[in-house]
Amino acid sequence: MKNSTKTLAILTLSCALGTGPATAATISLVTNTTDWLLSTVVDTSNSNDVPWSGASAFLPDVSTYTEIPVEGASYIFPVPGAAILFAGSDVSFYRATFSLAAFTAVTLDLSASFDNDLDIFINGHELALEGDFTSGNFNDPNHRLFVASDGTVTNGYLGGLPFTVSTAASFPSSFFKVGANEIVLAVRNASGGDSGGVTVSADLVTTEAPEPSTCATLAVGALSLLGFRRRS
């Protein structure tokens, strides 16, 4: 009995100190023709700019994402597990949604290959932009970044290419939502018949620490149990 009481007291203390057991969940996102939709809007305003300044001032309304993307594009180095989606001239927009359970921290590991350029948004916040008009964007290795639990971004993660024009220095957990989230890919090709594509894979890991109310309940229970045993 003494051992079980001691164990319960230790668990209660760990919870109160924030060192109790946490739960983790992984969400994997890959480009495909099932979960992604293509917007009917094509932006021609800056598709020939070098370097490309991105699409941060122009994201189509959610209602415009009604077309099923076409799979297949040449000259793009594959990302394992992800389909290559075709992109035509100018700037095309692709959107997918994902759901996150309650969390206290989020990490993100994202790999991408694209022709020619890519701007990535999560819930309307720009995560990364590659605007250099170069063939290196769709060759080996893939572009890769990692967002740590404190929001700091490692650009060029584990030997991947960095996003050379712009990458957020931080991407805090507040940019993610409990429940429905969205990711938008803006893919730039030059106007006048140029075409390309995009392939992306992303793993999100959410961690949820014990809630304070759970700690309080456990503490009351442990103290009650200890008092009962002493009276006995």
Tell me which fold the domain 22-209 belongs to: Jelly Rolls (2.60.120)
Q: Is residue 31 pLDDT above 80, yes or no?
A: yes
pTM for this entry: 0.83
Can you give the pLDDT at residue 81?
A: 96
34-38, 71-75, 86-90, 215-219: least confident range = 215-219
pLDDT confidence band for 158 (50 / 70 / 90): very high
Q: Report the pLDDT averaged over residues 25-52.
A: 97
Q: Output 141-145 pairs: Cβ under 8 A, ≥24 positions apart.
A: 141/77, 142/77, 142/79, 142/111, 142/112, 142/113, 143/111, 143/112, 143/113, 143/114, 143/118, 144/109, 144/110, 144/111, 144/112, 145/108, 145/109, 145/110
